[in-house]
């Protein structure tokens, strides 16, 4: 059964993404695209003539997609959370190397931003893993979701996680990775056709990846986890509609000055 | 076998002085082969070897030590450096007093234990490869032929000094060899003999002499209060002034490891020829720092001193990684990242649990391999393309795909799975996290480790961003040829990195970890996959209507003068605090 879910992960993510676009549109009193728009996009992209810049560049996008899929699969299978964070790191580095591997200013700018985003959220993800480990006594997700009550013990850590969710799903105020007014397509700019589709689907997987972290905070209660995910999903989109984009250095500063102390403070609190 | 390890490089050094280039290649390859074989077979055996030095040899060492210190004094006078003079004079006085106060040895001066055998592996294999490389490197250096031969001979002599220092049990012998490495540093940094080299060499000299002074002070405390100058007997003592003596010795480690505020000497050392940077200033000599802390770790354990040392190391890891972000000279970036990783190794060693000490050793090995590879590749860039700053390296992959390949492999092996250094950091996070409940102070180490690793990822991939950036396939690429004298050491190191990484994962017996090796498959399958992509049409790059030519933008972070001052003062205070904590506990 679990393998079926893993196989369907990109589609599942696509549904989340489509749903989010509708939700955001409704918040802005627009009608928005159809719910299945991501899949219509897919058919359109597959139909296009594919142009590539050079082969390694195109292949890195495919590798990025599969590495990301792999880390989402590892979450579904309930493996070691720390390993999962680093599997995700591999996936991100493949994307960043892809961005750097072409001689395009926008691609470089986009990859620079992806790298800086990584610098912002990576420590928090690891601290979340460590915090969950300290409470549950296990780095395995299967072990973590057998205990409950993370929210009571790790509220500040959860707040820190909340602050990095917008970075991962590229939502305001931390949507520097997607600022098309500044960097056009960013890392994605030199892709087209089927290879762009891989990058597009990677975005769906990112949703599953980061919201899984939120879900784990629900602990043994699946319902609490689901409520948390739904609540965070709403909140992130609300904030996205209500705030303006900050600059990249500001983003890093905010994460290091606010989210990091929160996370560390929480760890100090449960250790003492 | 041990004697061969020490004597063989010395003998070869003398032979090299009178041989042609071809013979030099043969001799250095022979040293590499024999040294690697001996160190591997020594590593396999488990017995603890220890022996006394004959009286005559001891007397010779004392004489040599006095000559060495007087030489430093003369150099200080010659180049008019008051710091060198004062420190050399202080060492001379302390040394004479320490020899006078030292109780006659009851235990052996030379002890080969597990740690020494491990260090032999690093020193002889990585060091041997670097010597082989330096033969080719010297061919392109514009100095007189006899100086080239002297250079290679000096590298070989240095190998035997390193082999000796890791099995020295007598603190006075250790001091002598420590000063010998300082001498090697001083001489080799000044090799090019211009104004900057001279100034940097003098700075390296006086900073390292501080290390010498604290070793002598530690030895004196040990000799006067605890009545021994042998490391193994010293570490069996407890209470009293033991921790003070240990604190002084570990301060020497901080100096040798170029921890902030002593990072200046290592950065300055980067003006030396690249094999020197590879051998002394990243792969072997600076490893004395974590080595010394590992030696002392059994008594550090849960003491406050151990805590302060591990926190200092961990903070150095973050601070040095941060400071490296403002640099643009390739070798300086490598130098700062060496300072950072040495800090991490010292932090793990000072935690003092069995696991963390093992991880510190793992980091040492993999760091030596990766950094040697990076420095040797930097040497190729310098000799073949005359490049030093990363600003000039834009789109280098187009001109030098192989060299860039080695550099990116080096970066990846320092930061990403499945390579050993990453694995070491991963296990270190798990290991420190499991200790947090008993020792909450280690939270500082954990957080620094996490932030520092991320900063290093930023640093290395920022540099790769300049190197990569290939034009579209519509532009023709030319082939690159690396001379064999350069490519053989580079390939050897790359293979070692790969095999050691896979081996390290295999011995963990963890199926999940083995999955981390999957990206390697991707890399190996890349050529055939690239061939299968031929039917896709190629396009030029989209410039959004702009006409300007492309210029890769590099990210720099320069701390303001005030913050930089605060960092240096903070670490200076921590350095002194180590001694205070030693006295108090």
The 10s digit of each residue's pLDDT in A58-78 is 888 888 999 899 889 989 888
How far, in Å, CA of B396 to CA of B581, rounded?
Answer: 50
pLDDT at A263: 92
Residue in this structure with the two tokens 């605090």, named with its chain if needed: B577
Q: Which of A56, A184, A272 lies closest to B530 in CB terms? A: A56
Q: Is the pLDDT of residue B484 over 80?
A: no
Q: Is B440 on the interface with A (CB under 8 A)?
A: yes
pLDDT at B452: 92
Percent of chain A with pLDDT over 90: 24
Across the interface, whether the CB atoms of A126 and B465 are under 8 A apart is answered no
pLDDT at B343: 92
Across the interface, whether the CB atoms of A58 and B471 are under 8 A apart is answered no
Residue A151 in tokens? 């929210």
Across the interface, whether the CB atoms of B550 and A104 are under 8 A apart is answered yes
| Range of A173-182, B98-107, B114-123, B576-585 with top mean pLDDT | B114-123
Arithmetic mean of pLDDT, A117-122: 91
pLDDT at B552: 61
Q: Minimal Cα distance from B416: which residue of A?
A: A90
CA distance A199 to chain B (A): 18
Arithmetic mean of pLDDT, B190-204: 86
Q: What is the overall mean pLDDT for chain A?
A: 87
pLDDT in tens, B539-555: 777 766 666 666 666 77
Q: Which of B290, B293, B316 is nearest to B305 (CA)?
A: B293
Residue A205: CB atoms within 10 A of its CB come to 27
Task: Report ipTM for this prediction.
Answer: 0.91
Across the interface, whether the CB atoms of A105 and B553 are under 8 A apart is answered yes
pLDDT at A256: 92
Q: Minimal Cα distance from A195: which residue of B?
A: B536
Percent of chain A with pLDDT over 70: 100
Across the interface, whether the CB atoms of A58 and B472 are under 8 A apart is answered no
Q: Which of B430, B522, B553 lies closest to A109 in CB terms? A: B553
* Cβ-based contacts under 8 A for chains A and B: 171
Q: How far is CA B228 from CA B100, B368, B494, in A?
A: 13, 33, 44
A70, β-bridge pairs = none
Q: How far is CA B137 from CA B104, B131, B274, B427, in A?
A: 46, 10, 8, 37
How far, in Å, CA of B366 to CA of B192, rounded?
Answer: 30
Q: Is B563 on the interface with A (CB under 8 A)?
A: no
Q: Which of B165-174, B210-219, B220-229, B316-325 has the lowest mean pLDDT?
A: B220-229
Residue B239 in tokens? 């209470």
Across the interface, whether the CB atoms of B513 and A52 are under 8 A apart is answered no
| Range of A104-108, A185-189, B567-571 with top mean pLDDT | B567-571
> Contact, B151 vs B279, CB < 8 A?
no
Find the helix packing angle between B330-351 and B288-300, rounded to 10°. Answer: 20
Q: Which helix (H) or strand (E) holds A108?
A: helix A105-136
pLDDT in tens, B40-92: 888 888 777 788 888 888 888 888 888 988 888 888 888 888 888 888 888 88
Q: Is the pLDDT of residue B240 over 90?
A: no
Task: Provide the pLDDT confidence category of residue B447 given band limits of 50, 70 and 90.
Answer: very high
Task: Provide the pLDDT confidence category of residue B434 given band limits of 50, 70 and 90.
Answer: confident
Which of A48, A49, A53, A269 should we substitute to test contact with B (largest number of B Cβ atoms within 10 Å)? Answer: A53
Q: Which helix (H) or strand (E) holds B174?
A: helix B171-189
Q: Which of residues 410-439 of B touch A (CB under 8 A)?
A: 412, 415-417, 422, 426, 429-430, 433, 436-437
pLDDT at B113: 85
Across the interface, whether the CB atoms of B464 and A67 are under 8 A apart is answered no
Percent of chain B with pLDDT over 70: 95
Q: Which of A53, A107, A123 lies closest to B473 in CB terms? A: A53
Arithmetic mean of pLDDT, A193-212: 89
Residues of A whose CB is below 8 A from B530: 55-56, 59
Q: Is the pLDDT of residue B445 over 80?
A: yes
Pairing of strands B110-112, B49-51: antiparallel
pLDDT at B42: 83
Q: Which of B119-123, B333-337, B420-424 has the lowest mean pLDDT?
A: B420-424
Q: Minimal Cα distance from A55: which residue of B?
A: B530
Q: Which of B447, B465, B541 lies closest to A264 in CB terms? A: B447
CA distance A31 to chain B (A): 31
Q: Which of residues 542-561 of B touch A (CB under 8 A)?
A: 542-544, 546, 550-553, 555
pLDDT in tens, B9-48: 777 777 777 777 788 888 888 888 888 888 888 888 877 7
Across the interface, whether the CB atoms of B429 and A126 are under 8 A apart is answered yes
CA distance A221 to chain B (A): 26
């Amino acid at each position: 059964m679990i393998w079926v879910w893993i196989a369907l992960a990109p589609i599942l993510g696509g549904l989340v993404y489509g749903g989010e676009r509708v939700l955001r549109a409704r918040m802005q009193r627009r009608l928005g695209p159809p719910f299945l728009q991501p899949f219509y996009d897919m058919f359109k992209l597959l139909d296009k003539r594919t142009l590539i810049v050079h082969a390694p560049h195109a292949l890195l996008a495919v590798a990025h997609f599969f590495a990301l899929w792999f880390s989402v699969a590892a979450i579904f299978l309930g493996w070691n959370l720390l390993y999962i964070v680093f599997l995700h790191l591999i996936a991100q580095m493949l994307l960043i190397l892809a961005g750097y591997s072409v001689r395009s200013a926008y691609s470089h700018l986009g990859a620079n931003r992806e790298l800086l985003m990584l610098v912002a959220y990576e420590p928090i993800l690891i601290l979340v893993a460590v915090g969950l480990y300290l409470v549950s006594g296990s780095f395995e997700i299967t072990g973590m979701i057998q205990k409950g009550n993370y929210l009571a013990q790790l509220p500040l850590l959860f707040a820190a996680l909340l602050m990095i969710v917008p970075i991962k799903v590229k939502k305001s105020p931390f949507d520097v990775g997607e600022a098309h007014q500044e960097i056009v397509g960013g890392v994605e700019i030199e892709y087209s056709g089927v290879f762009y589709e891989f990058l597009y689907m990677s975005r769906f997987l990112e949703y599953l990846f980061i919201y899984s972290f939120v879900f784990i905070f629900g602990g043994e209660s699946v319902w609490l986890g689901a409520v948390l995910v739904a609540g965070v999903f709403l909140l992130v989109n609300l904030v996205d509609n209500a705030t303006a984009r900050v600059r990249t250095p500001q983003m890093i500063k905010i994460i290091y000055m606010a989210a990091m102390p929160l996370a560390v403070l929480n760890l100090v609190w449960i250790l003492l | 076998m041990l004697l061969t390890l020490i004597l063989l490089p010395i003998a070869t050094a003398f032979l090299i002085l009178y041989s042609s280039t071809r013979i030099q290649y043969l001799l250095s390859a022979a040293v590499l082969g024999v040294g690697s074989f001996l160190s591997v077979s020594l590593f396999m055996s488990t017995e603890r070897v220890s022996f006394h030095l004959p009286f005559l040899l001891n007397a010779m060492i004392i004489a040599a030590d006095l000559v060495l210190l007087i030489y430093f004094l003369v150099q200080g006078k010659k180049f008019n450096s008051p710091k060198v003079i004062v420190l050399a004079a202080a060492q001379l006085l302390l040394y004479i007093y320490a020899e006078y106060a030292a109780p006659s040895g009851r235990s052996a001066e030379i002890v080969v234990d597990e740690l020494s055998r491990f260090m032999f592996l690093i020193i002889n294999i990585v060091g041997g490869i670097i010597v082989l490389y330096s033969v080719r490197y010297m061919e392109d250096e514009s100095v007189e032929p006899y100086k080239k031969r002297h250079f290679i001979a000096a590298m070989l002599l240095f190998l035997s000094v390193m082999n000796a220092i890791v099995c020295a049990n007598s603190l006075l012998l250790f001091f002598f060899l420590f000063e010998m490495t300082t001498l090697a540093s001083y001489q080799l940094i000044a090799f090019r003999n211009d104004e900057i080299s001279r100034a940097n060499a003098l700075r390296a000299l006086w900073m390292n002499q501080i290390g010498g002074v604290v070793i002598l002070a530690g030895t004196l405390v040990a000799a006067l209060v605890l009545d021994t100058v042998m490391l193994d007997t010293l570490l069996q003592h407890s209470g009293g002034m033991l921790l003070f003596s240990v604190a002084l010795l570990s301060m020497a480690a901080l100096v040798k490891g170029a921890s902030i505020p002593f990072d200046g000497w290592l950065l300055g050392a980067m003006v030396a020829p690249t094999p020197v940077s590879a051998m002394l200033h990243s792969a072997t000599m600076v490893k004395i720092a974590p080595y010394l802390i590992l030696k002392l770790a059994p008594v550090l354990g849960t003491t406050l001193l151990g805590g302060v040392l591990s926190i200092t190391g961990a903070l150095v890891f973050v601070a040095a990684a941060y400071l490296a972000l403002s640099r643009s000279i390739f070798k300086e970036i490598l130098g700062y990242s060496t300072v950072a990783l040495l800090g991490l190794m010292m932090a793990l060693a000072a935690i003092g649990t069995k696991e963390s000490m093992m991880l510190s050793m793992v980091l040492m090995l993999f760091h030596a391999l990766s950094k040697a590879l990076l420095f040797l590749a930097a040497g190729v860039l310098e000799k073949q393309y005359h490049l030093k700053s990363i600003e000039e390296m834009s789109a280098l992959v187009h001109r030098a795909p192989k060299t860039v390949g080695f550099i990116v492999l080096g970066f990846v092996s320092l930061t990403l799975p499945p390579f050993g250094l990453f694995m070491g950091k991963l296990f270190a996070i798990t290991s420190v996290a499991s200790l947090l409940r008993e020792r909450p102070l280690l939270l500082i180490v954990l957080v620094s480790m996490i932030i520092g690793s991320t900063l290093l990822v930023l640093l290395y991939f920022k540099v790769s961003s300049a190197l990569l950036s290939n034009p579209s396939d519509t532009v023709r690429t030319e082939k690159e040829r690396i001379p064999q004298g350069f490519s053989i050491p580079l390939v050897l190191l790359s293979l070692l990195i790969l095999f050691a990484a896979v081996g390290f994962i295999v011995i963990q017996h963890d199926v999940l970890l083995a999955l981390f090796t999957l990206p390697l498959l991707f890399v190996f399958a890349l050529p055939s996959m690239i061939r299968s992509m031929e039917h896709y049409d190629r396009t030029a790059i989209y410039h959004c209507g702009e006409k300007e030519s492309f210029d890769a933008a590099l990210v720099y972070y320069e701390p303001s003068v005030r913050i930089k001052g605060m960092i240096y003062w903070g670490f200076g205070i921590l350095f002194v605090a180590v001694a205070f904590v030693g006295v108090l506990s």
